[in-house]
Amino acid sequence: MPLYNVTLKKDAPQEQLEKAKQQAREQGGTIQHEYSLIKGFTVEYPADHVNALQTTEHIHVEQDGEIRTQ
């Protein structure tokens, strides 16, 4: 399963992040890491279910990947 980074959008209430974690777990996701400096987490999540997380207006979801500099 691919990894996704889920972060809380600016000015969104903290409980929305907790709801996103609960939703991810209920739909077969496994939280791999919870961040302390930013409001977010990384989750191993079925690719065919990611739209459910992406439709939440209070969070931002992007697939985890390698970042390179030139």
Q: How far apart are the first and last CA of the chain?
A: 29
Could you tell me if 53 and 8 are in contact, meaning their C-beta atoms sit under 8 angstroms apart?
Answer: no
The residues with which 30 forms a beta bridge, in sequence order, are: 44
Domain range summary for the chain, segments of one domain joined by +: 3-63
d(CA 14, CA 11): 9
Q: What Cα–Cα distance (Å) separates residue 21 from each residue in 9, 11, 49, 67, 69?
A: 14, 18, 14, 25, 31
pTM for this structure?
A: 0.83
- CATH architecture type of domain 3-63: 2-Layer Sandwich (3.30)
The model's pLDDT over 6-58, given as tens digits with 9 standing for 90+, comes to 999 999 998 999 999 999 999 999 999 999 889 999 999 888 888 877 788 89
For 13, the token pair is 């209430």
